[in-house]
Amino acid sequence: MIKSENKELKLVEKAAREFSKKILAPGREENDAFPFGPFFNDVLDKAFALDLFHIQLPEHLGGMGHGIRVFCTIMDQICQEDSSLGGIIFTNALAQSVMLASGSEALLKSIAEQSQAVPDFLVAFSSLANPNDISDLPTAQSLDGSYFLSGALNDLVLGGIAKQAVVPARISPGAPYSYFLVDLNGGDVIRSEPVMSHGLHACPAVDANFSSAKGILLGIPGKGDSYFKKGFETLQLVAAAMSAGVMKGSLQEAIAYCNKRVQGGRKLKDWSTMQMMLADMTIQTYVADMLIARACQAVENRENDWQIMVQAASLHIQAAATHLVSDGIQALGGVGYMKDFGQEKRFRDAGQIQALLGHAHLKKLRFIRQFLHIGKGAGEAAELKPVIEVNVKEGGKRLTEGLLQAATLQAK
């Protein structure tokens, strides 16, 4: 991430870098073999000991209470080497965010206090989807003041590892969905084998089937979407930081290879076609860094249009990452396609990260529809950004200032 003068942030960045270089990088290929190889429990234990799953959790709930900038910095560093751990941290944080948004602090505190090991602390969540885009959510039936969930939920990330899950379900057909905390170790939840996924192999999902599984309602019935949006608002920037980390890892490996590989009697770096490719990759990586830095600033200062800046930055970076990682393989030629190098994993991981929080195109449509006053929640969005012209102008000015500031910091 754009270098900061903030000493605390520098320390965090250094610690995260050392963790990813020393703990994550050496086992990357082996860990990626999951579910056909062992799960990297030892890495998770170390991450847990370092409080990597507590980054954004408030201090009074046993967390570290860090803000968005620290979170993004850590995820950026981790995902330069292995995004699977990033995916686990992200999913858990998303579940925590939804619980916090629903006012379920007591439940979170209880989970934190009772956790002896990583699985006790982790909360599974369907982080690859926006529940609005799932037509058949589980149903929740109320009985004697308790709720019982039935039905299937595919791609429940961490569902095979975590002790509990935050699950979206409808209390009645067609009703807005609500969130429930469900104990996954109860016999009334059937979980599939880990779903084989494109990327983030060591951040596995399962297909879950609930058969009258007891669930604790989080917050107010039917308010699931607003809780999801609350988490989505900031955590999409964390997902973008994951993409940016993948981009950096890919760029670094491409440059290192082009510096040593010789073809046609000259180093790859001396081919101007390769220079052009590396230039494109470098520009996109710097742009990603600058966008994240500026968006973090907007979040921290709670600027008027911070949500818009976060969405725009995230959509841009995640799309850019999927193109960059493809060039990252091209730069290495045949070996870039092989598992001995990190490029092929980054290629897959970038695609998986783009799928976090829902369909890429639907995220883009929802982004513009809030300006256009279209669709569900338009009223809410209209308050957020009432007039596009004014905001573009003001936002543009602020963005320019922010980029200049970021570039100055980078130059230093």
Partner 1 sequence: MIPRSECKAFLDREPKFDDIMISLRAIARQPKGINSEVKRIIAVARKFNDEVVRPGCLPLDRKMHEDPDHLAWDYVIEANKRGFYTMFIPKMFGGGGYSLAGIAYFLEELASACGAIANIVGVHYLGVTMLFSSWNFKVINRVCKDVVKGYKEGKPCILSLAMTEPDAGTDSQNIEFMDTGSLACHAQKVPGGYKINGNKIFISMGHMSTWHIIHAYTDLNRASENTVMLAVKTGTRGFTFGKKEKKMGQKACPASELIFKDCFVPDENVCIDKEDASRLRSPVKDTNARIFAFIWAASRTGVGAFGVGTARAAFEDALAYAAKTEIDGQLLVNHEWCQSLLADMYKNVLLSRLAYAEASYANGLHGMWMVMNLKPMYYMTRYTPAGILKFSISALSRFGFVTNFFRKICFDHQKDEAIDRIDGWGSLAKVVGTDAGITNARLALEIMGHAGVRQDCRAEKVLRDSKLLQIYEGTNQINRLNLFKRMVAKPIPQAEVFSQANL
Note the residues at the interface with partner 1 (CB under 8 A).
36, 126, 128-129, 132-133, 135, 154-155, 195-199, 262-266, 270-274, 277, 322, 326, 329-330, 333-334, 336-340, 344, 347-348, 351-352, 354-355, 358-362, 365, 375-376
* Residue placing its CB nearer to partner 1 in the complex, 328 or 402: 328
Q: What's 211-249 look like in SS3?
A: EEEEEEEECCCCCHHHHHHHHHHHHHHHHHHHHHHHHHH
Rounded to a whole number of angstroms, the minimum distance from the CB of residue 381 to partner 1 is 15
Rounded to a whole number of angstroms, the minimum distance from the CB of residue 56 to partner 1 is 23
CA dist 402 and 362 (Å) reads 28
* Residue placing its CB nearer to partner 1 in the complex, 135 or 408: 135
Single-letter residue type at 176: P
Rounded to a whole number of angstroms, the minimum distance from the CB of residue 245 to partner 1 is 18
Rounded to a whole number of angstroms, the minimum distance from the CB of residue 357 to partner 1 is 10
* Residue placing its CB nearer to partner 1 in the complex, 304 or 330: 330
Q: Which two tokens stand for residue 161?
A: 């590892």
Q: Identify the helix (H) or strand (E) that includes residue 291.
A: helix 272-300
Dihedral in degrees, nearest 10, Cα atoms 304, 307, 311, 312: 0
* Residue placing its CB nearer to partner 1 in the complex, 145 or 264: 264
Rounded to a whole number of angstroms, the minimum distance from the CB of residue 158 to partner 1 is 14
- Asked if 345 and 28 count as a contact pair (C-beta separation under 8 A), the reply is yes
* Residue placing its CB nearer to partner 1 in the complex, 253 or 305: 253
**Residue reference for tokens 């007891």:** 214
CA distances from 144 to 13, 182, 183, 245 (A): 50, 17, 19, 49
Q: Are strands 164-170 and 123-124 parallel, antiparallel or unpaired?
A: parallel
* Residue placing its CB nearer to partner 1 in the complex, 336 or 395: 336
Task: Work out the number of other CB atoms within 10 angstroms of the CB of residue 101.
Answer: 20
Rounded to a whole number of angstroms, the minimum distance from the CB of residue 338 to partner 1 is 5
